[in-house]
Structure 1
Amino acid sequence: MSIRIPPRQDQIKGRGARSNDAGRYERHSVEAVDDGWTPDQDLPPLRTEVSEERPRRIITRNTSPDVGFELSINPYRGCEHGCIYCFARPSHAYLGFSPGLDFETKLIARPAAAEVLAKELAAPSYRARVIAIGTNTDPYQPLEKQHRIMRRVLEVLRDHDHPVAIVTKGSLIERDIDILAPMAAKGLARVGISVTTLDPSVARVMEPRVPSPARRLETIRRLADAGIEVRAMVSPIVPALTDHELEAILAAAAGAGAVVASSIPLRLPREVAGLFRDWVEQHFPDRAARILNRVREIHGGRDYDPEFGKRMTGQGHWAALLRQRFDIAAARHGLNRRLPPLRTDLFRVPPRPGDQLSLF
């Protein structure tokens, strides 16, 4: 049984979701009801709670044909950034948590990630392929500043000359330029920075604990100045809300030093659909119906079409027009190039204390 106390508006300031409904795997749910006896005073805001987990394995294998990576690592479960559109929200239901406010307030850190990773890389059967980090939840969300799990993971990958591709919205990645720049010089590291809007007022409510758009552009600049190739990720594009900014975002990203770009239209899998609907009706009531209708148009009349080959690109006239606009703008700013693959041939398992060194 899952007991959910509906949050009051004074409790969720600075959060993305407006509700905390039980996950789809909970058999029963009890909802608290305001009987009028609640004192009329402000309640303390919801605080972020962090628990720890020791994984048996840290490398996740992906078999989806429309995702450009085979291996990934998630240093954290849940994400304090609180992006309302985050497709990873439904994964919190597997843990018995709500994809709503729980996803951004009940977080799980995996402090042994680097240790477990080193053991997996040392397995005789392991063959190096690019490891993607940030494909589910952001490795540079605020709690990384204290926990430093991502930095320790990067140190292991550096010591093994192992290729890594990182996706983030967090400016904290600048802390690790000292690791990433030498790896990038060897062809072992690449970074994607997500920029969804240039409007700080939209970003503030859509991605409440993410660095501002201007700050993310500055992160692109600092990474690029350090010799790290950066992909500008205009994802997700929210129809009737941020789609008009597509060309401006690409121009700004190119000006900051990005070398390639990509985009994905908004997709609303499982519980994300209801959470986004509540959010857009609250913050943009004048255009909520238009936004939601356009999303369904992109996904064949549904909130989300999970079919491989369609879920990342959408379908129909509007999706085709959006791709056309992206292709033209990306070509105009030199962001449509094909980057060479990251190197896997440098991978090695460093000797440990006590190991017998090879004579050859």
Structure 2
Amino acid sequence: MLMPRSLKALKGRGAVANVQGRYEVDVRETFDDGWLREEEEARVWRTHVTEETAKSILSRNQSPDIPFGVSLNPYRGCEHGCIYCFARPTHSYLGLSPGLDFESKLYAKMNAPDLLRSELAKPGYAVEPIALGVNTDAYQPIERELKLTRRVLEVLQECRHPVGLITKSALIERDIDILAPMAAQGLAAASITLTTLDPKIARTLEPRAAAPERRLRAIRTLTEAGIPVGVSVAPIIPFVTEPEIEKVIEAAFDAGAIQASYVVLRLPWEVNPLFKDWLEAHFPDRAQRVMNRVREIHGGKDYDASFDTRMGGQGLWADLIRQRVEKSIQRCGMAGRGSRFRRLDCTQFRAPLVVPPQGAKARRAEAAGQLSLF
């Protein structure tokens, strides 16, 4: 596995290193023999998509600090390349690096819509809102061609199943024709992540996600289509994005957002060294200062995974951030409009009529050109 020879940012990529996954047995070290030229190095990290057949599609969690119980992710890995992404360590399960591999070696679950249809058709299926695109962005660039997210939404619309989406991409506008009718029935809501208003910071922090101004336009477009939109100010990074808290919330409100939430920077597993390398590459003048504050927020550690503190932190600085967010929401009047971000309706669900066969049965049906009726 090749690694960049220095902490130098690669154009269009978030990570500046391809750190080893925590399950790797062999240890690799960077060695620069002077032969690898920059243009050759850049070509190594072109995006590669592997089509895969997933065995399951709905993930369930019981974490008390996460506001949803069921999620669906059509893709593994994310080309947006957000350096802080908490999902990066999942690439270690594949024997790949949570660094550059995570944002360049992607997996598409080609059977996601069929798996979802089969799941919804199971006897006794219990309906609760599905969070779409939580682990990795369901509207990352490869969605333009593969359209897995759109096909999943078509299944949910057909079954009148509630869905909540979270994204950094303006590509969500493409699916307004599905989301607007669902929203009118109380079946759909969206959240746009807006970390910073500074395009320079955004280009290094989230290199292949939509620019901040474009995300604000997406909030406005979705709102005008009647889709409830919230803003996720996440993560809040001390001395990098933290100074913009009030401006971000105000801009999102002006664009039509009716609810705001936030998360402080989290550095689980391999995200920790990746983020530190990113800091040294882009903000060497304040890297130590940032990390000192991060530790203060997480009880003296780089990261504390306790359910009650991992999202908001603890201590004086965490309290100040919370107060700033709350006062900003109150000042712009967003709190008074929050009730419009209504609870999604789970009472309209109807099971799918046509269910694609799975496994060996699917191969036989495909050969025969048949589908089974539920």
TM-score norm. by structure 2 comes to: 0.91
Please report how far the alpha carbon of residue 13 of structure 1 lies from its aligned counterpart in structure 2 after TM superposition. Answer: 1.5
Structure 2 residue identity aligned to 1:13: K
Correspondence 1:29-44 to 2 at 5 A: 29-31=27-29, 33-36=31-34, 38=35, 42-43=39-40, 44=42
Please report how far the alpha carbon of residue 285 of structure 1 lies from its aligned counterpart in structure 2 after TM superposition. Answer: 1.2
Counterpart in the other structure of 1:245? 244
Residue aligned with 1:84, SS? coil
Correspondence 1:315-326 to 2 at 5 A: 315-326=314-325
Distance in 1 between the 2:77 and 2:169 partners? 15
Alignment CA distance shift 1:332-1:41 (3 Å): closer
Counterpart in the other structure of 2:59? 60
Deviations 1:297-320 (CA, angstroms, capped at 9, x unpaired):
100011110001100110000000
Counterpart in the other structure of 1:20? 18
1:344 aligned to 346, 350, 354, which one?
346
Residue aligned with 2:260, SS? strand
Please report how far the alpha carbon of residue 125 of structure 1 lies from its aligned counterpart in structure 2 after TM superposition. Answer: 2.0
Comparing 204-213 with 344-353, greater Cα deviation is found at 344-353
Correspondence 1:142-157 to 2 at 5 A: 142-157=141-156
Contact kept, 8 Å, 2:133 with 2:166, in 1: the verdict is yes
Comparing 44-53 with 267-276, greater Cα deviation is found at 44-53
Distance in 2 between the 1:217 and 1:246 partners? 15
Distance in 1 between the 2:154 and 2:165 partners? 14
Alignment CA distance shift 1:354-1:141 (3 Å): closer
Distance in 2 between the 1:35 and 1:156 partners? 53
Identical amino acids, percent of aligned pairs: 54
Distance in 1 between the 2:23 and 2:332 partners? 46
Contact kept, 8 Å, 2:71 with 2:131, in 1: the verdict is yes
Alignment CA distance shift 1:84-1:34 (3 Å): same
Please report how far the alpha carbon of residue 349 of structure 1 lies from its aligned counterpart in structure 2 after TM superposition. Answer: 1.2
Residue aligned with 2:171, SS? helix
Counterpart in the other structure of 1:120? 119
Please report how far the alpha carbon of residue 40 of structure 1 lies from its aligned counterpart in structure 2 after TM superposition. Answer: 5.0
Please report how far the alpha carbon of residue 335 of structure 1 lies from its aligned counterpart in structure 2 after TM superposition. Answer: 2.2
Alignment CA distance shift 1:22-1:141 (3 Å): same
Deviations 1:124-143 (CA, angstroms, capped at 9, x unpaired):
02111000012110000000
Distance in 1 between the 2:277 and 2:291 partners? 11
Q: What is the number of residues matched between the two proteins?
A: 353
Gaps of 5+ in 2: 355-370
CA root-mean-square deviation: 1.7
Please report how far the alpha carbon of residue 55 of structure 1 lies from its aligned counterpart in structure 2 after TM superposition. Answer: 1.1
Residue aligned with 1:167, SS? strand
Deviations 1:121-174 (CA, angstroms, capped at 9, x unpaired):
000021110000121100000000011000000000000000000000011000
Counterpart in the other structure of 2:289? 290
Structure 2 residue identity aligned to 1:348: R
Distance in 2 between the 1:24 and 1:302 partners? 19
Residue aligned with 1:190, SS? strand
Alignment CA distance shift 1:276-1:351 (3 Å): same
Find runs of 4+ consecutive structure 1 residues off by over 4 angstroms.
Answer: 7-11, 353-356
Correspondence 1:67-86 to 2 at 5 A: 67-86=66-85
Alignment CA distance shift 1:120-1:291 (3 Å): same
Contact kept, 8 Å, 1:89 with 1:271, in 2: the verdict is yes
Deviations 1:223-252 (CA, angstroms, capped at 9, x unpaired):
000000001111111111111111111111
Contact kept, 8 Å, 1:132 with 1:164, in 2: the verdict is yes
Counterpart in the other structure of 1:205? 204
Please report how far the alpha carbon of residue 220 of structure 1 lies from its aligned counterpart in structure 2 after TM superposition. Answer: 0.2
Deviations 1:318-342 (CA, angstroms, capped at 9, x unpaired):
0001101111111122222243310
Please report how far the alpha carbon of residue 31 of structure 1 lies from its aligned counterpart in structure 2 after TM superposition. Answer: 3.2
Structure 1 residue identity aligned to 2:193: S
Structure 1 residue identity aligned to 2:39: D
Counterpart in the other structure of 1:231? 230
Structure 2 residue identity aligned to 1:344: C
Residue aligned with 2:107, SS? strand
Correspondence 1:250-265 to 2 at 5 A: 250-265=249-264
Structure holding more helix per residue: 2
Distance in 2 between the 1:60 and 1:122 partners? 17
Counterpart in the other structure of 1:312? 311
Alignment CA distance shift 1:198-1:11 (3 Å): closer
Alignment CA distance shift 1:265-1:14 (3 Å): same
Residue aligned with 1:29, SS? coil
